[in-house]
Structure 1
Amino acid sequence: MDRGPPSLEPAAAAPGTSGRCVIAPVRAVLRLRRRVCVLRKRRLLQPGGGPDVGTGTPRPGCSSPALRADADQPQFFTFDGPAELSSRTPRKRRRRSRLVLYPETSRKYRPRVEHRSRAQRCLLLLVAIVGFQVLNAIENLDDNAQRYDLDGLEKALQRAVFGQPAAVARIVALMRDYLATHVHSRPLLLALHGPSGVGKSHVGRLLARHFRAVLEDDGALVLQYHARHHCPEARAAQDCREELARRVADVVARAEAEEKTPLLVLDDVELMPRPLLDELHGFLQPQRPHHFHNAIYVLLSGAGGAEVTRFVLQNASRALPLRPDGARGAQAEAARADEDLRASLQALLSRGHPLWEAAAVVPFLLLDKRDVVSCFRDEMAGEGFFPDQARAERLAAQLSFYQVAGREFAVTGCKQVVATVNLL
């Protein structure tokens, strides 16, 4: 085999080990390079040969005129022959897929999640529980208020109490708000004040009768305390205080056991000694047990009667008392007058004892002549007499009246009606 022209090796290096280690690799590289050049020249000189890769020119150190003359040869290096290159099937170019475009009006949906989060289910369950509790609480409030039949109480008071529409409406409204729930932070204290004969004691008796009926109790949850009867002047005030504390404690304890709201009506409060007022004021304190806060106290007193009388006579030309059948302007005027009277009356009573600072004061106004006539007709019907209008007017004319601004107000109200009808 022909190994090509003799190699032109470099001159021998200087003797020594270091020079020998450097020259030997260089010689090997040169021999390999010359051998590669010889093989390329032989291959390109054959028929169908071509230049070197890409550029059509031989590698440096292997230049040849024959290589530059053939410009039609393939411009890439391969070990396949020309016949094999021509018979090879050209590779197809892979087409890129186009993007799928959606119209703007179409709705796009997110991919469906296979596994739903447990936290979402817990949240839905919590919302359902809270909604059920709120609905149940609202129903319980309605049930608690319906137990006391406040609509029936309002109708009974409007039918039996004459000349006090504003007082009746305020009493029922305060009770309706208080009885909407069973748990309270403080008791409800109603203070009914006015001159004699305007219907305070009558309202107290109606309230006690109604609560005994709706609570289905023999009287253990309704307490009626008359200062003139239960604590006369001859009895020691401390004994009255202890007795009142014991009776109130028994009532509220039994009401707490039965989950009901008791009613405590105290009449002639203006005659109570100060120790009893202090005991009543102690029932309102927050340090008391919680069952003392779930109760309704109704104080009936003639204190402030002179203030109510003066106020009504000074404002006789205004729309007093407030009547549901009056004009809208007259009702608004009467409502403002009633609010002013409550404020002045509460300020007057609070100077005597701090008990009235926490009370809801309800003033009872003077009765005009037609209200007294209605009292006579009602009492006559109750005693078995025919309630004749003319006869009732003649009986009412025997009483004393204040005559102011063309109106007549009874001095003693309906106080003498019962005694006068008993003389018939």
Structure 2
Amino acid sequence: MDRGQPSPQPAAAAPAAAGPSMIAPVRAVVRLRSRVRLLRRRRVLPPAAGPDSGPEAPRADPGQPRVFTFDGPAELASRPPRKKRRRSRVVLYPESLRKCRPRAERRSRAQRCLLLLVAIVGFQVLNAIENLDDNALRYDLDGLEKALQRAVFGQPAAVARIVALLRDYLATHVHGRPLLLALHGPSGVGKSHVGRLLARHFRAVLEDGALVLQYHARHHCPEPRAADDCREELARRVADVVARAEAEEKTPLLVLDDVELLPPALLDELHGLLQPQRAHRFHNAIYVLLSGAGGEEVTRFVLQNASRALALRADGAPAAAAQAEEELRARLSALLVREHPLWQAAAIVPFLLLDRRDVVSCFRDEMAGEGFFPEQARAELLAAQLSYYRVAGREFAVTGCKQVVATVNLL
């Protein structure tokens, strides 16, 4: 073999050496591409824009799930759609700062103020109730009721109504208008006696006789005296009493007897004292008017309803007593309002006729007061000397207990 000729082996060795160096990267690219395709199919990723995003690029199957599970397409179609849960935000507090509650968890200040207001109102209500009890206890109405029941005969309904009206009015010291009690009935049934008992009781409990005014029409304003002078004097005396009572924070009592004899000018003055335009001190007062006006109406009612009149006594039925008393008050009110508008604002208390046993009780009480032994037979003998209305087997005294004092004085 000639040494000058070239050897063929080195030329063939060059392509053999370059072959392995180019195949390895191509294989790596192919593996990466197949790996990306597999991942896109599993995760259903949108294909990236590139050479593979053509019409031949593989598309995601709409029937396949978007999230990988082990369920088949049929099971996925029958399963209800899953609800998206709203993740709550986690509140993170810095370790270096003070932790505070969120505003929604804090106790509202308005709630504390409301509890404080409820406590204050409850305390005020309890204090007001105690003050009402103290103001009513000052006048000893229980003692007054016992005294009236013991000393006034044959008028249980009238006594109960007077005490009830006084309890309601004296429950507080502040009033919007004065209390006007109008005691009506025939002569001798106990109206003036009740007025004297009320005056005596209020003088004792108020500890000041100047706060009780007793005005008698026949004594303080006789007929020869001018009505204008009587009106000025009455207005001045009432003003002095209410002014003194306001200074001492007490409720005065004004008793006017024989009101049916007062001239119209004095009735007008009394009506003016009850008006809300007057000063506030005039609103805190008790007026007791004793009048014989309407006595004939009371007598007629008792005689025409002798059986119902028994219901107004203590031994009658409460329902019948209330109905009979209401009817009698309505008759008296309609009669008195026609005479003067003063009676519109009055709480009318009718006094009924006294029967024979009530007159006997009057005689026994008067005999004991005069130092005589209250013998029942002697009291009945004295009571038989009086005149009576005889209706339905009952006897009602014509003059009541009017002549009891004069009769006992003759003993």
TM-score class, shorter? 0.7 to 0.9
Q: Is the 8 A contact 1:182 1:261 kept in 2?
A: yes
1:387 to 374, 390, 396: 374
In the alignment, the residues of structure 2 paired with residue 241 and residue 351 of structure 1 have an alpha-carbon distance, to the nearest angstrom, of 22
1:64-94 CA-to-partner distances (Å, cap 9, x unmatched) read xxxxxxxxxxxxxxxxxxxxxxxxxxxxxxx
Residue 159 of structure 1 aligns to which amino acid in structure 2? Answer: R
1:82-112 CA-to-partner distances (Å, cap 9, x unmatched) read xxxxxxxxxxxxxxxxxxxxxxxxxxxxx99
Q: CA deviation at 1:40?
A: 7.4
2:360 — aligned with what? 373
Count of residues in correspondence between the two structures: 331
2:187 — aligned with what? 196
Unaligned runs of 5+ in 2: 1-19, 39-49, 53-101
Residue 186 of structure 1 aligns to which amino acid in structure 2? Answer: R
State the SS of the aligned residue for 1:286.
Answer: coil
Unaligned runs of 5+ in 1: 1-37, 62-110
Q: Is the 8 A contact 1:321 1:365 kept in 2?
A: no
State the SS of the aligned residue for 1:140.
Answer: helix
RMSD: 2.3
1:172-183 equivalent positions in 2, closer than 5 A: 172-183=163-174
TM-score normalised according to structure 2 size:
0.77
Q: Is the 8 A contact 1:201 1:267 kept in 2?
A: yes
In the alignment, the residues of structure 1 paired with residue 367 and residue 281 of structure 2 have an alpha-carbon distance, to the nearest angstrom, of 43
Q: Is the 8 A contact 2:360 2:379 kept in 1?
A: yes
1:163-190 CA-to-partner distances (Å, cap 9, x unmatched) read 0001001101111111111111111000
Instruction: Report the identity percentage.
Output: 84
> Which entry has the higher C-alpha Rg, 1 or 2?
1
In the alignment, the residues of structure 2 paired with residue 51 and residue 401 of structure 1 have an alpha-carbon distance, to the nearest angstrom, of 138
1:106-137 CA-to-partner distances (Å, cap 9, x unmatched) read xxxxx998743332222211111111011111
Residue 305 of structure 1 aligns to which amino acid in structure 2? Answer: G
1:43 to 25, 48, 51: 25
In the alignment, the residues of structure 2 paired with residue 303 and residue 60 of structure 1 have an alpha-carbon distance, to the nearest angstrom, of 125
The 1:115/1:387 distance shift into structure 2, 3 A limit, reads same
Residue 407 of structure 2 aligns to which amino acid in structure 1? Answer: T
Q: Is the 8 A contact 2:155 2:352 kept in 1?
A: yes
Q: Which runs of 4+ in 1 moved over 6 A?
A: 111-114
1:5-55 CA-to-partner distances (Å, cap 9, x unmatched) read xxxxxxxxxxxxxxxxxxxxxxxxxxxxxxxxx997541358x98463424
2:150 to 135, 143, 159: 159
In the alignment, the residues of structure 2 paired with residue 420 and residue 60 of structure 1 have an alpha-carbon distance, to the nearest angstrom, of 144
2:392 — aligned with what? 405
- Is 1:123 aligned to residue 114 of structure 2? yes
Q: CA deviation at 1:318?
A: 2.2
Residue 284 of structure 2 aligns to which amino acid in structure 1? Answer: N
In the alignment, the residues of structure 2 paired with residue 265 and residue 163 of structure 1 have an alpha-carbon distance, to the nearest angstrom, of 22
Q: Is the 8 A contact 2:139 2:205 kept in 1?
A: yes
State the SS of the aligned residue for 1:192.
Answer: strand
Between Structure 1 and Structure 2, which shows a larger proportion of helix residues?
Answer: 2
1:43-62 equivalent positions in 2, closer than 5 A: 43-44=25-26, 50=31, 52-54=33-35, 55=37
